[in-house]
């Protein structure tokens, strides 16, 4: 292959892989003009090369043998889009050791094997690019790593799972309960048959690990921080907090630096209606970050899907072709953080929902327990009795330590008058 041409190999011809091929077919002239070279997708590898993908591709380029990409000395860029841990990890490491640059959308693999993958790339003086791993088509990671590199990042707040955001949007806009909103998401193909990875916050957590790496230079394993999903959120929570308090519930990935400590957490969060993140609806993603120089920055766009993700994948390829010798710097130099802040030391305002018997003294008992744990109440609302099933009580606290609130709610839940386990949602203050 001459110096004016670049060969690429694609491993994984699924939804995103198909998008990559479509985008190359559609915009090949534009891409080649930008990089000043001819680009050639030389080989496409997948276990299934018989099923039609609805895209024009030369059958000679199709293979079921991954070594047709990994062992081909003419292929300088490998695009890995099979997902999962294995055999993706083996393929990526082998490609890097063969001196090939790698582009991937595999956030799960990066979150778990970051150090090994980065070390292998650096040892072999090649690049690993992964813009598509967080935020789909949103140009987020390159912005963090380069355009915002002169900033000390102070905080990152991300709506980075479209499935959970779609469900919460439907619950908010249409009054649906969680299960019905989930069913609609599944029918539209936004949610898997087993949706737990998305709705319980694990997908958000994996993406947050990458954002924390690039924003703060810290690799925090998933088992080291709090991860909580949205399956316990009810229409009662959504209606009350929206109409009475002016908040919208979103599943947020949060990473922020407080003095010399780092907070990393994933959980449903009450966001003021006027905040930019409150308007991020449906399957869209939104990331709000703050830097010491640039101030607040909001990025918004499609966080998944064939073509948006393919856009990010080929953006990485273009970057590598244009700058093949570029030194890899992933995130700022490691800051002098004394520790990861424990969740029980988080200071926040809280929304609390309780269900209690409509009997004298219940509110007095609840407020007494909260007071014993240094928690003051900003507001309280008690709804009318409903079908003899108890009375919903909604509270908002002033700022309190999470440890104190959890201890108080444990005692409150033990009261005979309390009919269901209490629910708490943290409040984002602006």
Please list the active-site residues: 207
Q: What are the C-alpha distances in Å from 271 to residues 75, 247, 377, 380?
A: 47, 5, 19, 19
Q: How many CB atoms lie within 10 A of CB 194?
A: 8
Q: Are 213 and 235 a contacting pair, CB within 8 Å?
A: no
* Preceding amide of 87 cis, omega within 30: yes
CA distance 250 to 252: 6
- Please give the DSSP secondary-structure letter assigned to residue 418: B
Is residue 206 within a helix (H) or strand (E), and if so which, with residue range?
A: helix 202-216
CA distance 244 to 255: 28
Q: Are strands 38-45 and 423-427 parallel, antiparallel or unpaired?
A: unpaired
| Composition of the chain by helix, strand, coil, percent to 5 | 40, 25, 35
Q: Decide: helix, strand or coil at residue 298.
A: strand
Structure tokens at 65: 């043998």
User: Is the alpha carbon torsion for 148, 153, 159, 160 positive or negative?
Assistant: positive
Q: Are strands 153-159 and 75-80 parallel, antiparallel or unpaired?
A: unpaired
CA distance 228 to 216: 22
Structure tokens at 260: 């010399």
- Please give the DSSP secondary-structure letter assigned to residue 176: -
Convert 320-350 into a string of H (helix), E (strand) and C (coil): HHHCCCCCCCCCCCCCCCCEECCHHHCEEEE
Q: Decide: helix, strand or coil at residue 30.
A: helix
Q: Decide: helix, strand or coil at residue 263.
A: strand
Quickly tell me which residue has 């969740």 as its tokens.
343
Q: Are 376 and 369 a contacting pair, CB within 8 Å?
A: no
Categorise residue 303: left if φ over 0, alpha if ψ from -120 to 50, beta otherwise.
alpha
Q: Decide: helix, strand or coil at residue 88.
A: helix
**Positions of E strands within 23-139:** 38-45, 62-63, 75-80, 101-104, 128-129
């Amino acid at each position: 292959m001459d110096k004016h041409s670049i060969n690429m190999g694609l491993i994984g011809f699924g939804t995103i892989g198909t998008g990559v091929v479509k985008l190359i077919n559609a915009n090949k002239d534009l891409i080649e003009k930008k990089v000043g070279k001819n680009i050639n997708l030389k080989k496409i590898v997948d276990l299934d090369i018989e099923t039609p993908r609805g895209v024009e591709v030369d059958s000679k380029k199709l293979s079921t043998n991954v070594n047709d990409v990994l062992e081909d000395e003419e292929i300088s860029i490998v695009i890995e889009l099979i997902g999962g841990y294995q055999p993706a990890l083996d393929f990526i490491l082998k490609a890097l050791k063969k001196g090939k640059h790698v582009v991937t959308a595999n956030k799960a693999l990066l979150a778990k094997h970051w150090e090994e993958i980065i070390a292998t790339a650096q040892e072999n003086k090649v690049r690993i690019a992964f813009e598509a791993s967080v935020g789909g088509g949103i140009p987020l990671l390159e912005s963090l790593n380069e355009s915002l590199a002169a900033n000390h990042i102070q905080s990152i707040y991300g709506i980075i799972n479209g499935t959970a955001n779609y469900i919460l949007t439907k619950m908010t806009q249409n009054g649906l309960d969680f299960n019905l909103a989930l069913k609609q998401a599944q029918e539209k193909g936004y949610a898997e048959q087993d949706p737990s990875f998305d709705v319980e916050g694990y997908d958000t957590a994996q993406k947050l690990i990458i954002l924390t790496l690039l924003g703060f230079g810290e690799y925090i394993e998933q088992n080291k921080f709090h991860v909580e999903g949205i399956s316990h959120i009810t229409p009662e929570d959504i209606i009350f907090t929206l109409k009475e308090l002016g908040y919208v519930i979103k599943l947020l990935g949060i990473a922020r630096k407080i003095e010399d400590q780092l907070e990393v957490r994933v959980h449903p969060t009450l966001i003021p209606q006027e905040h930019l993140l409150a308007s991020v609806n449906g399957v869209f993603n939104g990331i709000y970050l703050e830097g010491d120089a640039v101030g607040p920055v909001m990025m918004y766009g499609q966080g998944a899907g064939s073509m948006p993700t393919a856009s990010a994948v080929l953006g990485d390829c273009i970057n590598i072709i244009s700058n093949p010798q570029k030194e890899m710097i992933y995130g700022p130099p490691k800051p002098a953080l004394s520790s990861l802040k424990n969740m029980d030391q988080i200071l926040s305002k809280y929304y609390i929902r309780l269900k209690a018997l409509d009997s004298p003294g219940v509110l007095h008992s609840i407020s007494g327990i909260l007071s014993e744990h240094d928690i003051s109440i900003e507001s309280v609302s008690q709804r009318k009795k409903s079908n003899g099933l108890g009375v919903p009580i909604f509270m908002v606290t002033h700022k309190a330590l999470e440890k104190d609130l959890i201890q108080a709610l444990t005692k409150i839940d033990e009261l005979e008058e309390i009919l269901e386990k209490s629910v708490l949602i943290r409040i984002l203050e602006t």
